[in-house]
Amino acid sequence: MSILCCRVPDFALALTYRERADWCDQPLALLGLEERICALSPAARRNGVRLGMTPRQAQMRCADLQMQPVDLNECREAQAALLSTLGRWELPVEEQSWGLAYIDLHTVARRQEDVQGLATDLGRQVRAALGQALQPALGWDSSKFTARAAAAQSLPGRLRLVSKANEGKFLAPLSVRLLPLPPDALQRLHWLGIRTLAQFAALPPAAVYQQFGAAGRTAQRWAQGKDDRPVRNTLQACAAPIAVELDPPCTQLAWAVDAVVKALTPHLRKYADRLEGLRSLRLALNFAGGETHSLALDWIEPVSQPARLRSRILAQMGGLVWPAPLVQALVTQQQTAELPTEQLSLFAAESAPAASVEEMAARLRGRYGAIFYRGMLTDSTHAADERRFAVAAL
């Protein structure tokens, strides 16, 4: 395969800076749909602000933080302009998050020399469509993950080419946090000393599957450069609709929402195993008497948690005036994308503070026994060195 990854770094922030250039050097955070921080400036990160924080939490970290709601309409317009530009070649284009997409070049360019000319032309077209502030960073490889990693390691206006022969060498020193694993999995890898993709790739596959499930197995294959996923043409593709029949017809909001989420949960699990999530869907509500309402649900970052899906559907359906009992909910136009490498923490179970060493050891002790130890000072005045300290199990 020959895959080009087009990535506009900090897409929503760059759009904000285009209107307010004086904010470029200030601590700035953008608030998403759930009133949580979804984008951060470098100055805000340096002050300890993190993705997923509430405005109050962020303000406690940085008193000078400037917070603005993300302009969804402007982002949609800019994303449409980007996709229109990428689609001019009439090649398969797979949209991911805002400012990120894959292009399948295998029918027109397979050698680095050919790709370089196409990438130069693409960069010029994107700059013409979106402006100099939103110029893309490009990465090329024979697989999606490595192409995306190459784009992440490239500066705006630059191209990073990775040949098949050099995939392992390129991926080896990169951070394991490039993998879209859940925060708890990344934390466990951190405590176990797994920092790079090479270290994660070298773990026994059976142990990875036991610890992290199907998602961990997929992530390890990506870390090894074994990503054989083709580019899906999301500009033309349309997923099969999912019909949720309510018999008898429903008049209770919570019951109807739970039925929709229950129908979508198996799909969410399947997406999560592939390290993907829902990015958008359309919901058609058919009421008794023939009246229909349509809802459009979009997420800034793909989601795979049923709790986040339920929260959003509940808010959307709760804002409608029901003319009659609900007979059917039809889910159409599902769009999926890779999970973000920095996943948002929006619910209590996910927003807990980082576990201490003792807490992490307690979780692992039930499976592996007391294999974690620490040194303790027992008698600092004892004449024998070996009696001053002791080793105790965590």
Residue spans of alpha helices (H) in 131-196: 144-152, 167-171, 183-191
Nearest to residue 151, comparing CAs of 341, 5, 338, 9?
Answer: 5
Amino acid code (one letter) for 377: L
Predicted local confidence at residue 217, as pLDDT: 92
Predicted local confidence at residue 365, as pLDDT: 65
Q: How far is CA 24 from CA 14, 43, 44, 73, 76, in A?
A: 9, 9, 11, 21, 22
Average per-residue pLDDT for the chain: 83
CA 315 to chain CA mean position, Å: 22
Amino acid code (one letter) for 274: R
Q: Does the pTM of the predicted model rise above 0.85?
A: no
Predicted local confidence at residue 371, as pLDDT: 64
Asked if 208 contacts 192 with a C-beta cutoff of 8 angstroms, the reply is no
Question: Which helix (DSSP H) or strand (DSSP E) does residue 228 occupy?
Answer: none
In the chain, where do the E strands start and end?
A: 3-7, 28-31, 37-40, 66-69, 93-95, 100-104, 137-141, 159-161, 242-250, 276-287, 292-303, 326-338, 373-377, 389-393
Asked if 195 contacts 176 with a C-beta cutoff of 8 angstroms, the reply is yes
Predicted local confidence at residue 64, as pLDDT: 87
Predicted local confidence at residue 358, as pLDDT: 65
Predicted local confidence at residue 289, as pLDDT: 82
Predicted local confidence at residue 364, as pLDDT: 66
List, for the chain, all residue ranges whose pLDDT scores fall below the cut of 70.
236-239, 333, 342-374, 393-394
End-to-end CA distance of the chain: give it in Å, rounded.
49
Residue spans of alpha helices (H) in 224-295: 253-273
